[in-house]
Amino acid sequence: MGGNWVLQLAQHHDLWVLTEERFAKTLLEYLEDHRPEMKHAIHVFGIPRHRINWGERLWEAPFYYWTYRSWQKDAYRKAQELFRQVNFDLVHQLNMIGYREPGYLWKLPTPFIWGPIGGHAQMPWRFVSSLGLQGAMQCGVRNILNWIQMRISCRVRKAIRRADVLVAATDVDARAVEKIHRRNAALLNEQGASPYVKERKERRQDSNVLRVVWCGLFVARKALHLGLDAVHRARRKIQLELHVIGDGDRARHWKRIARDYGLHDICHWHGKLPRNKVLNVMARCDVMLFTSLQEGTPAVVLEAIQLGLPVICHNACGFGAVVNNTCGIKIPVIDPRRSVEGMANALIRLGAESELLERLSEGAIQRARELAWERRTEEMLPLYKEAISFHNANFEK
């Protein structure tokens, strides 16, 4: 996500990019191999981050944010040094999108834009009990801490107050910024699409089997258990198979659920795959089942519609804004029972109504064009001008 923003914005402005050392190396290699004509516009500075691996294994969140905050301090010191040399026209705090870590670049005496900001979405309480004991504890505690942190984090308040323009990743985040901090935020999803130009092949010419793909981390908030229940119900009415890509803490639990439902003959567990192999598996499928309940806008949803896959998902978070009735079927977030029923009915419709599947598949490709990175950039560039104008007007006062 960050790399795509850099490549797009550098077509319009000169950028000084502060990123982790490992990402800087990757970005520089990419520019050298694929976009050498852009090297003059992108100045990359890698800053080491010293992570505490044993601490993150013990309790991930506090140790992760502790080292990330330390990294942000180092980034700020580097930014101060560069500012004395370059005198930037604008500073953009882009990553991470989570509001918890605004960095320190807002302290620089120059126009400042922050976002897209995410992280305000809560796990719906009616779903917590369905996540298992460990998942329920994790998500329940996060909900409580998130509610508190939204309101009491001094550095977040200072960064929001200082920002000349705020950008929210989702409706939920925009409403939270307005309600809690009394600031308006422009709405701009953090992800963009890269539509494929090659012809989409017909996937179901020789088969009546609906091929469904699920892809993501095996963590509680991804809620694959709801999808497994939906597939179990749908197979009574249609022929289908489920391809699951990913791995993580919930692997044993979810595989046991699949066995209990008798899905061993139609459920294919691919494990964690490199991105090119993920796309190959997705390209052979007909529809994506995305069961997550709480996150921003995963790139895999954009990649699905780029491939012409209709998406079945909850009407929530960033993916709820990406998917509309031209490219997928959205399920209201009410309770686990109605989520499972909605997903099962959506699978049955797509398996039984080939015309609907084809229409949504064509709509997915068109939706990817609408969400292309170029269009995202066209929406961001005016916000840069707005931040500069707002800052200059206040400075003159």
172 and 282 part of one domain: no
* pLDDT above 90: percentage of residues in the chain: 78
Please give the residue that has the higher pLDDT: either 128 or 203: 128
Specify the pLDDT at position 55: 75
**What is the distance in angstroms between the CA of the first residue and the CA of the last residue of the chain?**
37
Measured on CA atoms in the order 204, 208, 209, 213, is the torsion positive or negative?
positive
Residue for token digits 């990019």? 17
261 and 354 part of one domain: yes
What is the residue range of 250's domain?
210-370
Domain count, the chain: 2
In a domain, 203, yes or no: no
Q: Give the list of residues 6+ apart from residue 268 with CB closer than 8 angstroms, or none.
A: 241, 242, 243, 244
> For position 206, what pLDDT does the model report?
54
Looking at residue 10, what DSSP letter applies? Answer: T
Residues 27 and 142 in one domain: yes
Residue 396 pLDDT = 60
Binned at pLDDT 50, 70 and 90, residue 199 comes out as very low
Same domain, 235 and 377: no
Contacts of residues 153-157 at CB distance under 8 Å and 24 or more positions apart, as own/partner, are: 153/100, 155/102, 156/99, 156/100, 156/102, 157/181
* Cβ atoms < 10 Å from Cβ of 79: 24
* pLDDT confidence of residue 227: 97
| pLDDT reported for residue 73 | 95
Does the pLDDT at position 215 exceed 60? yes
Q: Taking the model in full, what pTM does it have?
A: 0.89
Whether 285 and 390 share a structural domain: no
Mean pLDDT within 371-376: 94
Within-domain flag for 300: yes
- H or E element at residue 145: helix 132-152
**From CA 289, how far away is CA 250, in angstroms rounded?**
18
Per-residue pLDDT tens digits for 219-256 = 999 999 999 999 999 999 999 999 999 999 899 999 99
Q: Are residues 338 and 281 part of one domain?
A: yes
Residue 204 pLDDT more than 60?
no
Peptide bond into 282 cis (omega under 30): no
Q: What is the mean predicted confidence (pLDDT) over 262-272?
A: 95
Q: What is the mean pLDDT of the chain?
A: 92
Has residue 257 got a pLDDT over 90?
A: yes
Are 123 and 61 in a shared domain?
A: yes
Residues 182 and 244 in one domain: no
Identify whether residues 181 and 230 lie together within a single domain. no
Helix (H, G, I), strand (E, B) or coil at 39: coil
* CATH number, domain containing residue 361: 3.40.50.2000
Q: Is there a domain that residue 204 lies in? A: no
Does 6 lie in the same domain as 149?
yes
Report if residue 351 sits inside a domain. yes
Kindly state whether residues 159 and 215 are assigned to the same domain: no
Cβ distance 113 to 162 under 8 Å?
no
- Tens digits of per-residue pLDDT, 95-131? 888 999 999 999 999 999 999 999 998 899 999 989 9
pLDDT at 289 over 70: yes
What digits encode the pLDDT tens for the residues 138-163? 889 888 988 998 899 999 999 999 99
Based on the domain organization, do 152 and 19 belong to the same domain?
Answer: yes
Rg value, the chain, Cα:
22
CB-based contact 79:18 (threshold 8 Å): yes
- For residue 266, the 8-state DSSP code is T
pLDDT in tens, 89-105: 999 999 888 999 999 99
Q: Is pLDDT above 80 for 207?
A: no
Question: How far is the C-alpha of 105 from the C-alpha of 168, rounded, in Å?
Answer: 18
Nearest C-alpha neighbor of 94 from the set 31, 19, 145, 150: 19
